[in-house]
Chain A
Amino acid sequence: MDARRGPLAVPKVRRVGFFTSIEPSPDSPRPNRSLSGPAEAITTSSSPLSDSPSGQFISPVQIPPLRHRSDNLAAASRAAAPVPVPVPGPSAFRRQLASDRALHVGSYNPVDSLLGTSPPSSNGEVSEDSGSLFGFQRSDSAKLSASFPNGGFDMTMRVRAPQESEAKVVIASTSDGRKKNVEPSGTSEPVAATKPRKEKEQKSLKEKTSKAERRAIQEAQRAAKAAAKGEGSKRAGESSRAKPSKTAKQTQPKKDVPQVTSSLSEKRTVSVEKERRMDVPQAQMQYDDKSRVDKAKRRSVVEQTESKNKVELFLHLPQYERGNQLPNLSSNIFTLDTIHHAVYKVGLQHLAGDLSGDNSRCIAMLHAFQEAINDYTTPPMKDLTMDLTGKINGYVSFLIECRPLSMSMGNAIRFLKNQIRKLPVDLSEPEAKASLCSEIGRFIDEKIILADKVIVQHAVTKIRDGEVLLTYGFSCVVEMILLYAHEIGRKFRVVVVDSRPNLEGQKLLRRLVARGLDCTYTHINAVSYIMGEVTRVFLGASSIFSNGTLYSKVGTACVAMVANAFSVPVIVCCEAYKFHERVLLDSICSNELGDPDAIANVPLRTNTKHAKTMDNNKNLQFLNLMYDSTPAEYISMIVTDYGMIPPTSIPVIVREYRREDLLL
């Protein structure tokens, strides 16, 4: 123990905020220790975080991830031991330990302690993580690793399931470091045995477990699964399932890895998956929840590659490299049968960024659904309500893979599902389809198009002659307001504030100038200067939450706050279908990450040297947030289809008007 602590002489500085999650992890090679010892041993011997193989730092704001895999592993290995230990108890204990450990993050970095110092042999040590597995298997071949389950393995590595041989994102550093230390590490039978199925393929494994051992382990797994099921908790379910997760792959970067998945295990995965699906509550996907990500990935149509240098604080958000899937996907548009081609098209448009603006995205999606419903026929022996809902769910998850849904799209989908659910049972299929299509059409007409008209009528009353109106970015409803006010002869001036990298304001500017409005164009950097002459700020919205928080394009909060400091009224224009009953307090929990390259690459500056320093620099991450949240106190008024209301009245609207649409 002491020997291992030796190299810790230099304490790590506590790190907060944005830093590379992907360390050139020195720690990676965990010694494979065989049996998990008693729980106490874990606490004492294994240093905090030692179980996270890549030496990831859990950011202070992040809830330490529960390590299902390890639970499971421990349980399994324990069961494999002569004296089986009841599973739920220790695993629960484990979990607690894991969180305890997380508390130490930063002040003491155990990772170093493992750095090549101790020969991994130390017995009595608990290897409760797949790190050890990993090292062990790495010693053999890279191919092997492909089949290795690393579901709960590494938070920082979002590994996507390759359906074709596609270069997967892997953190080079981690794997390298791991490899280095692999050789000395002895293999541990029980751990290896936990994956007995895989061993069929792993012919090259140096050490093989005996048949009897394998059987024992299988038994143990089964027991663990049963116990987990009995527990009923989602977590337990996850842990039991995590093992068969095959598709999550750890591959060498830029190296095509053949998919090695036995059909047998796949089948089992599916069945377990099904059970799990029952108990999983519908919640927002947290992309640092490894097992769920894997699960989603397995079903995914689009293979997104994760971008590499991600910002620690936003690990829970999906971030993919842009654009490399597009040709691939567009080529098989007609071969894919699970996704309707209209939906597919919309998905691709989202992926490519052709569609922007919440309303147009939402309308495009609804039109696609309309088309899909029109072409839908209920399979024999199936119920339209159930089957169609399932279909829609499939479409929605496809769309999410392409680009995270906006709040308004979520609301529209809820509306649609609700309509499907409310269909009378005795309706014939064509009638049902027709009714759904007309309902969707009505939604578009009433909640979006008509709502915009009403908003324009309301908002125009707030534009007087001689005013200077400021708007930020591009919002179609704000554009309509400005054009209409101009049409009815108001004399006013417009300041269009824009920001990199999207420069959406230029689109608005072009349209306004073409119609003869008097415009000023500036970037957000100058907003504090320009605000002095402004009399009204008009903003669009992506969503407004129950506590009045405005969720809109990034930069909106800045504009609103500056306006507030200049006591300029901030008017937010938002259709009521975008209101959301959730409460949002910050911009971190719910957000979308854009393409980091977009902010890295400055147009007209093609300095290769410059580009070189930007790329592959571990100490540099680009954060391209798409949205931010503006607290309610910076908003003077919200113009919506139900009139002009203060931000405190959002819950009233949600309560009074949306009941019939959304909550039965």
Chain B
Amino acid sequence: MWRRSASFILDKHQNNKPMSLTPSIDSPPPLSASVADENPSPNHISAYYQTRAAHHEIVTSDWLEQAQAAVRRYPDQDSPVSEKPFSVIEEFNKWRQQPALAEAVAAIRALAAVIRASDGNTMMELEIELKKASDTLKAWDTTSISLTAGCDLFMRYVTRTSALEFEDFNSAKSRVLGRAEKFGEISNKARTIIAMLSQDFIFDGCTILVHGFSRVVFEVLKTAAQNKKLFRVLCTEGRPDKTGLLLAKELAKLDVPVKLLIDSAVAYCMDEVDMVFVGADGVVESGGVINMMGTYQIAIVAHSMNKPVYVAAESYKFARLYPLDQKDLEPALRPIDFGVAVPLKVEVERSARDYTPPQFLTLLFTDLGILTPSVVSDELIQLYS
């Protein structure tokens, strides 16, 4: 899978910019045996969305407060990591602070740090340690698909090697470490590759509808703007965290004509749209995507009006999940601010994301290339074989 990465695109276009984050190879303190950290609020607020909100600091101050309040209900689990000498969670959280860094990449970096810090003497020990760390990470936030997928992929990528054939443990370890770093590198570059690949699909004079703030989609649009393409963007508002506003603001900075819609105006505007661009929280085995709430309805509207729906997603978001319907996922909840007080007896749907089945998607732009939805399963089967 990774061998086939379309990173040649980067080499061809000489304009690859430096990584948003150069991995600082610091050596953390030696790993403690137990890293049983608990997610501050595993059941109530999705940590993934919390992080995202933190990254999109623009309009989220109010609900962050609420999130904090929610966290405060579990004071015993609030900061469990500080006293540990080394914790994969801590490492992960450190990487996670970088706004440009995807969660999965942060996890990959953290796992690489685990390898580095490992004081095991055999490959088996190292593997067990790694397994434990990745399980901890996955358990830390079960709602984040890309975190789980990233950990799984990392484990596959690192341990599937023939490293065990090396008698010398140190060389094997350095080999694994090399792979881990390469993996991190690829994951990091993925966004740029996708931006390059998608340029062929953005033509002059087109109108693009985007939903939510996806860093990949933003990268795609930014690259297109830098390539002097003339296009127009319609941004949905992206309730409740108003991520669309953020995207509109960023695009306006690049002098791209932007129009902001409320989420319910999608069908109204669809006839002037040439293509829909969305990101993904996770790409599942059926080829469908899990993304911010509202993607499904946009895809349905676009499909019924015969507009192409393109998904930009890095391949570390490919997850071995197979939702059959919307409720077949572990819900990632988040608070929703309606501006007014919601009457007590009224329920609020707080799920943060939905599942778009593959038949509504046209193409997936990934760092493995441009894929049809059915290829996702192909790639996953090959990887996990």
CB < 8 Å neighbour of A646 from B320, B377, B382, B384: B377
| B378 and A657 within 8 A (CB) | no
Interface string of A631-651 (1 = CB under 8 A from B): 000001100001111101100
User: Is A375 interfacial (CB-CB < 8 Å)?
Assistant: no
C-alpha gap A652/B379 in the complex (Å): 9
> B residues 317-338 with Cβ under 8 Å of A?
320, 322, 324-325, 327-328
C-alpha gap A177/B385 in the complex (Å): 65
C-alpha gap A569/B381 in the complex (Å): 22
C-alpha gap A536/B320 in the complex (Å): 20
**Given the complex, which residues of A lie within 8 Å of B381, measured CB to CB?**
642-643, 645, 649, 652-653, 656
| A462 and B328 within 8 A (CB) | yes
| B378 and A652 within 8 A (CB) | yes
Instruction: Given A637-B286, A656-B381, A656-B382, verify A646-B324 contact (CB < 8 Å).
Output: no
User: Is B199 interfacial (CB-CB < 8 Å)?
Assistant: no
> A residues 320-363 with Cβ under 8 Å of B?
none
CB < 8 Å neighbour of B374 from A571, A644, A648: A648
| B324 and A649 within 8 A (CB) | no
C-alpha gap A646/B359 in the complex (Å): 12
**Given the complex, which residues of B lie within 8 Å of A464, measured CB to CB?**
327
A-B contact count (CB 8 A): 46
Interface string of B352-385 (1 = CB under 8 A from A): 0000001000000000000000100110011011
**Given the complex, which residues of B lie within 8 Å of A657, measured CB to CB?**
385
**Given the complex, which residues of A lie within 8 Å of B328, measured CB to CB?**
462
C-alpha gap A656/B324 in the complex (Å): 25
C-alpha gap A302/B325 in the complex (Å): 51
C-alpha gap A648/B287 in the complex (Å): 10
**Given the complex, which residues of B lie within 8 Å of A646, measured CB to CB?**
285-287, 322, 358, 374, 377
Closest to A657 in B: B385
- Minimum C-beta distance from A416 to chain B (A): 24
- Minimum C-beta distance from A68 to chain B (A): 44
| B322 and A644 within 8 A (CB) | yes
- Minimum C-beta distance from B241 to chain A (A): 29
C-alpha gap A571/B327 in the complex (Å): 16
- Minimum C-beta distance from A291 to chain B (A): 43
Is chain A's interface secondary structure helix, strand, loop, or mixed overall? Answer: mixed
| B384 and A643 within 8 A (CB) | yes
CB < 8 Å neighbour of B377 from A569, A636, A648: A648
Closest to B357 in A: A636
> A residues 493-517 with Cβ under 8 Å of B?
none
**Given the complex, which residues of B lie within 8 Å of A656, measured CB to CB?**
381-382, 385
- Minimum C-beta distance from A548 to chain B (A): 10
C-alpha gap A153/B324 in the complex (Å): 55
C-alpha gap A649/B382 in the complex (Å): 11
Q: Interface size for chain A: under 10, 10 to 19, 20 to 34, or 35 or more residues? A: 10 to 19
C-alpha gap A571/B322 in the complex (Å): 11
Interface string of A84-106 (1 = CB under 8 A from B): 00000000000000000000000
| B385 and A649 within 8 A (CB) | no
C-alpha gap A637/B320 in the complex (Å): 13
- Minimum C-beta distance from B322 to chain A (A): 4
Interface string of A293-320 (1 = CB under 8 A from B): 0000000000000000000000000000
C-alpha gap A657/B385 in the complex (Å): 8
**Given the complex, which residues of B lie within 8 Å of A636, measured CB to CB?**
324
C-alpha gap A350/B339 in the complex (Å): 71
**Given the complex, which residues of A lie within 8 Å of B327, measured CB to CB?**
464
| B324 and A569 within 8 A (CB) | yes
| B325 and A569 within 8 A (CB) | yes
| B382 and A637 within 8 A (CB) | no
**Given the complex, which residues of A lie within 8 Å of B320, measured CB to CB?**
643
Instruction: Given A643-B384, A646-B287, A652-B382, verify A637-B322 contact (CB < 8 Å).
Output: yes
**Given the complex, which residues of A lie within 8 Å of B385, measured CB to CB?**
642, 656-657
**Given the complex, which residues of A lie within 8 Å of B322, measured CB to CB?**
637, 644-646
- Minimum C-beta distance from A535 to chain B (A): 9
C-alpha gap A74/B175 in the complex (Å): 76
Interface string of B284-328 (1 = CB under 8 A from A): 011100000000000000000000000000000000101011011
- Minimum C-beta distance from B351 to chain A (A): 16
Closest to A636 in B: B324
Interface string of A648-664 (1 = CB under 8 A from B): 11001100110000000
Instruction: Given A636-B324, A637-B324, verify A649-B378 contact (CB < 8 Å).
Output: yes
- Minimum C-beta distance from B86 to chain A (A): 34
Closest to B359 in A: A633
**Given the complex, which residues of A lie within 8 Å of B358, measured CB to CB?**
646
| B324 and A645 within 8 A (CB) | no
- Minimum C-beta distance from A597 to chain B (A): 41
**Given the complex, which residues of A lie within 8 Å of B324, measured CB to CB?**
462, 536, 569, 571, 636-637
Interface string of A437-451 (1 = CB under 8 A from B): 000000000000000
C-alpha gap A536/B327 in the complex (Å): 13
> A residues 442-493 with Cβ under 8 Å of B?
462, 464
- Minimum C-beta distance from A25 to chain B (A): 52
- Minimum C-beta distance from A310 to chain B (A): 40
| B325 and A645 within 8 A (CB) | no
**Given the complex, which residues of A lie within 8 Å of B286, measured CB to CB?**
637, 646
C-alpha gap A652/B287 in the complex (Å): 14
**Given the complex, which residues of A lie within 8 Å of B378, measured CB to CB?**
649, 652
> A residues 535-575 with Cβ under 8 Å of B?
536, 569, 571
C-alpha gap A648/B286 in the complex (Å): 9
C-alpha gap A462/B285 in the complex (Å): 14
Closest to B328 in A: A462
- Minimum C-beta distance from A549 to chain B (A): 15
Closest to A653 in B: B381
> B residues 263-289 with Cβ under 8 Å of A?
285-287
**Given the complex, which residues of B lie within 8 Å of A652, measured CB to CB?**
377-378, 381-382
C-alpha gap A464/B327 in the complex (Å): 10
C-alpha gap A636/B325 in the complex (Å): 10
Closest to B288 in A: A646
C-alpha gap A645/B380 in the complex (Å): 10
Interface string of B193-233 (1 = CB under 8 A from A): 00000000000000000000000000000000000000000
C-alpha gap A648/B381 in the complex (Å): 12
C-alpha gap A656/B328 in the complex (Å): 29
Closest to A536 in B: B324
C-alpha gap A115/B377 in the complex (Å): 63
C-alpha gap A571/B286 in the complex (Å): 13
| B374 and A645 within 8 A (CB) | no
- Minimum C-beta distance from B378 to chain A (A): 5
Closest to B379 in A: A652
> A residues 512-543 with Cβ under 8 Å of B?
536
**Given the complex, which residues of B lie within 8 Å of A644, measured CB to CB?**
285, 322
- Minimum C-beta distance from B355 to chain A (A): 12
Closest to B324 in A: A569
**Given the complex, which residues of B lie within 8 Å of A536, measured CB to CB?**
324
> A residues 603-638 with Cβ under 8 Å of B?
636-637
Closest to A571 in B: B324
| B384 and A649 within 8 A (CB) | no
- Minimum C-beta distance from B327 to chain A (A): 8
| A643 and B325 within 8 A (CB) | no
- Minimum C-beta distance from A532 to chain B (A): 16
C-alpha gap A649/B322 in the complex (Å): 13
**Given the complex, which residues of A lie within 8 Å of B374, measured CB to CB?**
646, 648-649
| A649 and B325 within 8 A (CB) | no
Nearest 4 pairs of A and B residues by beta carbon: A648-B374, A569-B324, A644-B322, A649-B377
28 contacts between A and B (CB under 8 A): A464-B327, A536-B324, A569-B325, A636-B324, A637-B286, A637-B322, A637-B324, A642-B381, A642-B385, A643-B320, A643-B381, A643-B384, A644-B285, A644-B322, A645-B322, A646-B285, A646-B287, A646-B322, A646-B377, A648-B377, A649-B374, A649-B377, A649-B378, A649-B381, A652-B377, A652-B381, A653-B381, A656-B385
| Sample of 16 more A-B contacts, CB < 8 Å, known A642-B385, A643-B285 | A636-B324, A637-B286, A645-B381, A646-B322, A646-B374, A646-B377, A648-B287, A648-B374, A649-B374, A649-B378, A649-B381, A652-B378, A652-B382, A653-B381, A656-B385, A657-B385
